[in-house]
Structure 1
């Protein structure tokens, strides 16, 4: 039996930007994904997957959501940072944007970008 993934990321495949970003990330993480280190899941296929955390499809359409190996929910910039930690060649990005001094700014920037992307997806009907 394979070990549980170190990180499971739920995202919205109906968002062209999100889907392309995860596709790009998956290609960089082929070995990790094949080894089961990281799993990517489409929230549209599992709308209740994060219900125990109070997160529904709309929450994931707004921000990446993930579960770490201990079952802790990581959302938004924190999920992206966790993903970078597991991506070969991107650990420096996690260290730079995820340290205690820069993480608050990283969260603000991520949240603003996510809000704009969410509004664009709604206007374009990417649901």
Structure 2
């Protein structure tokens, strides 16, 4: 089998992240079954993205993914890539991932991720 189109690394210990990824897995069930998309828990493989310089805490703070060409995607760029592959959500990728709105999308994602990361640390979701 060839490399997945997208391998998404996320933190299952974050209830918000886990719920969001669970939803996407259901929406992408055929792509997951065929191996085109993988969702992996970084807590089981904390060094998985160390070759990219991404630490466990980096991945707990923001989604990370690798594409089929071996490139690293981070944060909002992962969300846009997932939306592109998800049936019925391509419009989200077009809206939030276009060259005009992508900088704002990244800014908003990063602020939300910072707040969520702080909340998770306070609640002990590690």
Note the C-alpha offset of 1:112.
Answer: 0.6
In 1, the alpha carbon distance for the partners of 2:101 and 2:35 equals 30
What's 2:66 paired with?
A: 67
What's 2:77 paired with?
A: 78
Unmatched segments (≥5 aa) in structure 1: none
What's 2:102 paired with?
A: 103
What's 2:91 paired with?
A: 92
What's 1:121 paired with?
A: 120
For normalisation by structure 1, the TM-score amounts to 0.98
What's 2:54 paired with?
A: 55
In 2, the alpha carbon distance for the partners of 1:65 and 1:72 equals 10
- Report how many aligned residue pairs link the two structures: 126
In 1, the alpha carbon distance for the partners of 2:81 and 2:73 equals 8
SS at match of 1:5: coil
In 1, the alpha carbon distance for the partners of 2:7 and 2:123 equals 28
Note the C-alpha offset of 1:116.
Answer: 0.4
In 2, the alpha carbon distance for the partners of 1:48 and 1:56 equals 7
For normalisation by structure 2, the TM-score amounts to 0.99
Q: Deviations over 1:82-105 (max 9, x none)?
A: 011111111110011000000000
Q: Trace 1:32-43 onto structure 2 (pairs within 5 A).
A: 32-43=31-42
Q: Which consecutive segments of 4 or more residues in structure 1 shift more than 2 A? A: none
Unmatched segments (≥5 aa) in structure 2: none
Note the C-alpha offset of 1:3.
Answer: 1.8
Note the C-alpha offset of 1:106.
Answer: 0.2
Q: CA RMSD in A?
A: 0.5
In 1, the alpha carbon distance for the partners of 2:2 and 2:84 equals 18
SS at match of 1:119: helix
